[in-house]
Structures are given as C-alpha cells and as structure tokens.
Chain A
Amino acid sequence: MTFSDLNFIFRAMPLFLIIYYVFSAKLRPWLLVVASLAFYVVNDWKFVAILVGATIVNFGFAKLVSKKKKVALAGIVIFNAGLLSFFKVAGRLKLGIAFPLGLSFYIFKMISYQVDLYREQIKTVSFRDMSAYFIMFPQILSGPISRYSYIEDNSAWVVAPKEERPSKGQRLQTVLASVEDGLKYFVIGLFMKVMIADHLAVLWSDIKTIGYESISTPLAWLGAYAYSMNLYFDFWGYSLMAAGIGVMLGFPFIENFIQPYAANSVSDFYRRWHATLGSWFRDYIYIPLGGSKKGTGRTIFNLLVVWLITGLWHGMTLNFILWAMVILVIILVEKFILSKWDKAFKIIGHINVWVLIPCTWVIFAIHSVRKLGTYGLRLFPVINNGIAVNQNDILYLLPSYWPYLLMGIILVIPFVQTLYRKHKENILVTLVLFVMFWISIISLANSAGNPFMYLRF
C-alpha cells in the first residue's frame, strides 16, 4: 500500500486521521508508531523485525551516546552502516536476500539521530519520540530524510497547560486547517506522480520497446528529457504527498525539492534536488571529513567520498558509480575552473543544469554499460550505430505524450510555484486542486496504481 493507493487515500488515511485527532495530544505519537508499524507490515511484513530490532538497538546505544561516549557513537554508526551495507551487498551478489523496505531511509535517520545526540543537538532520549521519528509511515518508504527536530516541532503533540487550552471549536479549526493545508500538498503531489510521472514512464518504456539502437537522435533527446521529468515528478510528487501527510498530522512542511531546475550550476542543483539527502551527506560525511576547509586536494577527496557513497547508495551497479563520477567531474570543473569566470559561469551553469543533467539521468536509468554506450551514441551520433532507425519516430510518440510533457514543463517553471504559494487560499485555486484530485483518482482507478497498466499493447 503506497500513498497513491485508493485504499490508502479513501480508507486508511481518513480513518487514521480521525483516530489520531480523537485521542489526546499525549497519545498521538504512540498512535503514529502503531499505525506506522501496521503500514510497514502491510507493505513488507517479512522485514518488520529488522525495523523494530534496529530501533531497539539504537535506543540502547542512544542512552550511552547521550552521555558523550564516543565509542558508543562509533559502535552504533558502524552497526547502522553495516546493516545497510549488508543488504546492499547481498542484493548485488544475488544471495536471494531481499532488500528491506525503506531500510536506506530509516538507517540514515538513525545515524543522524545518534550523531545529533552526540553533538547535543538532541537534548533528551525518548523512546516514544525516537521510534516515531524512525518508523513514521509518511517517511518510511522513500523519505524525505527529516531531522529529529521535525518530530519536536509537531504542533499536534504539544500538551498545553489546562488554563491555556483552547476551546473545542478552536481545536477543531486548528485540526481542519492542518488537514486542509496538508491535503493541498498531497493533491499536488498525487497529480504530479499519477498524471505526469506515470505517463512519462510509459514514454520511456516505449523507447526501450523500440530498442536504443533503433531510435533517432531527436527521440533519444526526447527520451532523456522525458525520463528526467519522470524521475523529477515521481520523486517530487511522492515527497509532496509525504510532506502533505506530515502537515495533516501536525508536522511542519518539509521541502525536499527546491526548484532544482532553476539552479545556476550542478552543485546548486544537488543542493535543491532531494535536499534532505544532500544535506544529510553534507552534515554527516562531507563536513566531518573536513569539507572544503583543508585545501584543494582534501576538498576533492572529500567530494569523491561523498559522491562515491551517493552512487553506491543509489545502486550497486556500474552505471550508478559512473553517474556519480560524471557529476563529481562536472562539480569539480564548476568549482575550480568555471567559477573563475563569473559571467560565463552564470550562463554555462544553467546550460549544465538543462543539458548535462538530463544526460546524467540517462546514465542513472540504463544499468547495462553496453546499452548505455548505444544510447549515448544515439544522443551524440559521432558514429552511426543506428539499426533500422525510423527518422519520424518522434512524430509517432509526441501526439500521445505532449500533454504530459507540457504539464511537466509548466510545473518546472519556478514562477508557477511562486504563484501557487501566493494564491493558495484562493477559491479558484482550491477548485483547480479539486479537479486535479479527481482526475488523478480516475486515472488511478483505471491503472490500479500500476503506471504500466497504461501500457496497453
């Protein structure tokens, strides 16, 4: 059951919201823990023991780490990183061990929690709040990787003193306002995922159907942009849904994609793309290694470590390493060469984002290096490797997909987001969101949540 499952939208979520708000603020964290465990069991019951076990082990160590015991911190970081590495490597070696759902995300939270505890950014160890932070269902599947302060800032968990308690009517208004606000984020995310990402996924699949050796160069470029948009709206849409559910539960809004395609360089792009992951790498790997304060050589080494881990974290195949190394090279060129020419960098930085980033997503998407080579030569046909290429192929595909591409292009424009934020209380905007909601639901009902159900033959 994912967030774009009709049973989640019309059954599980409303039911949980009612129960959550009927009970007192004190009990809500526990309700979130119980519901999150149920959500995990429904999705991947086989690995719930790993999640619970890791939570208990982390709680045990947290007591020691809070007393500034460095050995305990090292021990728990090794345990967490080891657990993640074990399942990643087991998957790569095809040992028949599946990868536990959300492991990457809750392990990152566990490491973040322990380090912040050691740094005294977290003052007290509470099993209730800690487990809610690790297990919470809005973030367990694919993030965002929030920090512990996210939990501390939940307005619905604040137990006000008796004399300061608002009236029932006021409390109802506060709850409805949170749900309305979160619902809006959820609807936008759902629409992005279902109506843009899922349809563009089929375009990318059509290109695979044709075979990379038989696509024309214009179609290869269309494919690169379609896949880039597919990935962006899939993940951004998911992140907005997750953030929206969080807002409905009283948490603050967590922004995971900060208009990345408006970035002025690839380095800037990765501060805006999956921002919670980027800041995690910065705070728990890059800066502890010395960041950029220990000379050029050390900066390059630190960036190499960060991007190598980023590549391996995304997947244990060669293409992910290649993807990470290409980005590293672009970032190094930007940082040490292009940055010296301020005016040129302003232009080239944007070109890097708009042209090189889609090319790097192709590396990310195609796992076989041989096939990647074929696609690369279709993008840049310095050698003609085409077999049975139909030069009009782009014209066959565009009529079916242009509405989704157009919607994607519109939503990439930062102005649209600014406009939404300015007018989100406007009735007209609410009505548009209402229509977007039902369009997404009708599409979901027909595809049963599987985008490839659109893929009729």
Chain B
Amino acid sequence: MKIKSYLLIILIVISAVGLSVCSYIYTPAKYQEYSVGVDKEPVMAPMLKGASAGVFPWSPVEKQEDPQSLAKKDKVAETKPEAKIEVVEPKSFTKVDDSYFDDAVFIGDSRMVGLSQYCPEIDSRATFFAKKSLTIYNLQKDAWIDVENGPKETIFDALSKISFSKVYIMVGINEIGRGTNEGYRDAYADVIKRILEIQPDALIFINSTMHVTKEKSDGDELYNNGNINVRNAALFDLIDNQHIFYLNVNDMLDDGEGNLDESLSGDGVHLKGSCYEPWHQYLLFNGVVD
C-alpha cells in the first residue's frame, strides 16, 4: 500500500485529531469565549476561532481584574463627583460652517469610513482615523493605524502627533453581542480619558451608533435597533456637556419609528454614498463654540 496514494486522507485525519485534542484540552482555559458548545460545532472549532484572533495555546492568559477591586474602583469613581461643588453651565449646540472641521478628527468604523469617502466637505478639512470593523476595544488596545514605512500605531500615538481640538467618534455596531454594556461604556470612558490626556481642551462628540433599517432590525437577532439603543443609552453618563457631548445622529436619519430610513441605505446598515448629507448637516447644526 503506497502511503503517497492516501496522503491527503492521512494528513487531514491526523491534523484534525490533533487539533481536536488540543482544543479539548485548552478550551476551558483559553477558548471558552469562542465556544458555542460541542453539540453545535466540532471540538476543534473554538481553537481555530481563537487562533484567528491571536489566542494560541501558548499565549499568556490575560489576568481578569478581581470583581471586588473593580467594585471598589467604581465606588471611588462614584464618590468623586460628590466632592465637586462647582456648578458649571452646560455648553449649548450652535450652527457652524465647514471650517469648523478644520481642526477636527473623526474616528470610527465603516460608517465613518463612508463619511470620509462620500462627504468631501468634511473629508477635505478634517483628519479621519476610520476602519471597517473597528470597535471601541480596538480603539482602546490595538495598534491599527497604518504608518508609512513603519509598524502600525495606536490612535493615541497618532493623535499625539497632530493638533486637534474636536474629536468625533462613531463606533458601536461591531461590538453588539460582544462584552457587556458596562464593559462597552468603560472602554468608551477610557478612550475619552486618554484622548483628553493628550489634548485636555478638546471637545469630544460621541456620535450615537447609527440605527439599522426596519427590515434589517426585524430580521437580525444581533444587529437590531433594540440592542443599538441599549448600547447608546449606556454612554449617557459620560456626557458632561463641557468637554464631552452626545450627538444623536439617529434624530436626522431615522424614519420616524426609530429605524434607519430605508431610502438612505442599500444594505440596511450603512448610508448609501449619496445619503451622507443629512449627517453632514446635523454636524453643522450641532457645533459647540466657546
């Protein structure tokens, strides 16, 4: 019997068994979050998913912060504002023109990519750091910004190299189904805090995560407007109307029933190339001037 004649079967069987054993051993410690259960997928699947996300059997386990110490931290954070006695008048929104975006930075996922590609009025003036599939967690931790002739850098490294006084952020759709609302809010708070450390006088505009159309929302267990609204609401307590503002872009883009207007979207999730003007106009009507 020539092994060469059955080499592919042998290789596939051996590798599949090997990967299944490894996955079985390491899933409890490393791949639990990638597992949907052996009744739904082969044993090796969690490890394959984990490995694609950069988690290998030999990768160090990220230390989870002790829930008690987290609770303590929250308590400290909660008590801090009570110490403040100063009452500050909230800044209000006002109409601005396109020159307002000259010193603005736009950060976000594919929806923000769309704004950069189909709103030349803003794109020609502002700086965009936007990428398809970006999440608040990538923003917080990853080096994802391409640098010519060099390794990728974090958003904070990129921001420290430029001057800016306004930051517009829109993420949130890719995070749905991932992590908790509190985790999402905390990651957002951390990103804002670190941006303000770079530029303390910057105005941060949190753009609400844009809704999806009714058809998409009704037919999708994950990416629906109920889940989007919960995530948007989780950010409300970050707003101070001094440095951090909330722009509910859905006010301008919804159909009146809380869904993205069908006529504005080709896929139910993104604005069509010809439909970025309402968002642009909304931003023009919601500037903040000292």
- A-side residues, CB < 8 A to B, are 6-7, 10-11, 169, 173, 176-177, 179-180, 183-184, 187, 205, 208-215, 387-390, 392-393, 396, 400, 425, 427, 430-431, 433-434, 437-438, 441-442, 445-446, 456-457
Contacts and interface: CB of A to CB of B under 8 A. Distances in A.
A179 B13 CA distance: 12
Interface stretch (B195-203, B248-256, B266-274): B266-274
Nearest to B53: A446
B233 interface: no
Contact of B9 (A183, A212, A396): A183
B216 to A, nearest CB: 11
Given A180-B6, A434-B8, A208 B267 contact: yes
A180 B4 CA distance: 10
Contact of B274 (A7, A205, A387, A437): A387
B4 A427 contact: yes
A338 to B, nearest CB: 38
B25 interface: no
B69 interface: no
Contacts of A11: 42
B52 interface: yes
Contacts of A210: 118, 266, 272-273
Interface stretch (B74-82, B109-117, B154-162, B282-290): B109-117
A180 B273 contact: no
Contacts of B4: 425, 427, 430
B49 A438 contact: no
A396 B128 CA distance: 14
B274 A456 contact: no
A169 B1 contact: yes
A215 B272 CA distance: 10
B117 A457 contact: no
B29 interface: no
Contact of B273 (A173, A177, A211, A434): A211
7 contacts: A177-B5, A177-B6, A179-B6, A400-B132, A433-B8, A445-B45, A457-B270
Given A438-B15, A442-B52, A445-B52, A214 B174 contact: no
A279 B52 CA distance: 44
Interface of B: 1, 4-9, 11-12, 15-16, 40-42, 44-45, 48-49, 51-52, 109-111, 113, 117-118, 132-133, 173-174, 223, 266-267, 269-270, 272-276
B269 A213 contact: no
Contact of B267 (A205, A427, A442): A205
A176 B5 contact: yes
Contact of A209 (B44, B52, B270): B270
Most buried by B among A179, A210, A393, A438: A210
Contacts of A169: 1
A184 B266 CA distance: 39
A-B pairs, 6 with minimum CB distance: A214-B273, A211-B272, A456-B133, A445-B48, A387-B274, A10-B42
A31 to B, nearest CB: 20
A179 B9 contact: yes
A209 B272 contact: yes
Contacts of A430: 4, 7-8, 11
Contacts of B44: 10, 445
A430 B270 CA distance: 43
B133 A457 contact: yes
Most buried by A among B1, B51, B174: B1
A445 B79 CA distance: 46
Contact of B48 (A214, A400, A425, A446): A446
B152 to A, nearest CB: 15
B9 A180 contact: yes
A113 to B, nearest CB: 34
A11 B16 CA distance: 11
